[in-house]
Amino acid sequence: ADSCFSDFYRVLCQTEYIDIIACGTAFHAGLCAKEAIERLARIPCEVTVASEYRYRDPIVKENTLCIAVSQSGETADTVEAVKLLKERGARIIAVTNCGFSSVTRMADVVLPVCAHAEICVAATKSYIGQLAALYMLANRLRPHEAKRELLNAAAGISDVLKERQKAVSFADMCAGSRAVFFLGRGSDYGAAVEASLKLKEVSYIFSDAYPAGELKHGTLALIDESTLSVFIICESTVAEKCVNALEQVLSRKGKAVVVTCLDDVEERLCGKAEVWRIPAAPPALTPMLSAVALQLLAYYTAVKLGKDPDKPRNLAKSVTVE
């Protein structure tokens, strides 16, 4: 990976704009990466679903870098969108779990995710690997520091796994709910959309995700005692605003649970909602930890409902046709 990073630094030094292109879970990794890249590398970054991008007539500015995120490297929409960006002069970095693929063949640099083969349809370890690779990428000016932070985050993931009993009790609440909403702000929003996809994909419970500030612009109308709202609150600058939104849910008799790494959130809630404390991490890395907690939630909910989480109905591991 070191040689790949030095190639990457060369490319990134000339980069003025970044377009992240991906589908599904890889797109959600891109949403978290945008937060990290803009925060740490200070390069403007857009994230677009590949199936939308490929049918646009995009303005690709000079010195644009396309980051194509794809576990398989064979997703048809991602391949076509990357082709378009390449034709219009963008340089391409492929963030992928498969060394040789249609996407890697078009790439100037390949950043391997190294998550090993992922057999189950639901992307889980490849998503965590994508977040880690994209975090390294965002940290181009301090790679050694970033490596240390990633190692700490890996230790934090082990701690989350030890607390899996929390996921079992949250799963009871999920399984008995008519709908589950995931809410967060900043990089917690990226974590929320992925958590929502994972839950609906393996449990077939209706689920959606919103930036927590959007709650009062419509979704609040759906909240009642039959819904569960899962708040992810790891962004300290907007934590208080998320707690306010949570109180709105509780006052409509909605059920709510919280995943947080912040001391004051637990204190402020004073037992009004169940809390899963996860280890602290730098803000751009907390989605790696909350994601594992929420993958466990999806897993135990599916198991509780008698569904096979490895083989969701109607879905294929790799979507190679439109």
Binding site for ligand M6R (CB under 6 A): 23-26, 70-72, 75, 78, 121-123, 201, 318-319
Q: How far is the CB of 269 from ligand M6R (least distance, A)?
A: 31
Q: How far is the CB of 206 from ligand M6R (least distance, A)?
A: 17
Q: How far is the CB of 96 from ligand M6R (least distance, A)?
A: 8
The one-letter amino acid at 295 = Q
The residue (of 18 and 26) whose beta carbon lies closer to ligand M6R is: 26
d(C-alpha 51, C-alpha 55), whole Å: 7
The residue (of 75 and 177) whose beta carbon lies closer to ligand M6R is: 75
As a whole number of angstroms, the longest Cα–Cα distance in the chain is 56
d(C-alpha 14, C-alpha 194), whole Å: 31
Residues in Cβ contact with 176 at an 8 Å cutoff, skipping those fewer than 6 apart:
none
Q: How far is the CB of 78 from ligand M6R (least distance, A)?
A: 5
Residue 22: count of CB within 10 angstroms of its CB: 29
The two tokens of residue 81 are: 């969108």
d(C-alpha 202, C-alpha 298), whole Å: 7
The residue (of 241 and 317) whose beta carbon lies closer to ligand M6R is: 317
Q: How far is the CB of 69 from ligand M6R (least distance, A)?
A: 7
The residue (of 50 and 245) whose beta carbon lies closer to ligand M6R is: 50
The residue (of 49 and 275) whose beta carbon lies closer to ligand M6R is: 49
β-strand pairing of 255-260 with 274-277? parallel
Q: CB nearest ligand M6R: which residue?
A: 24
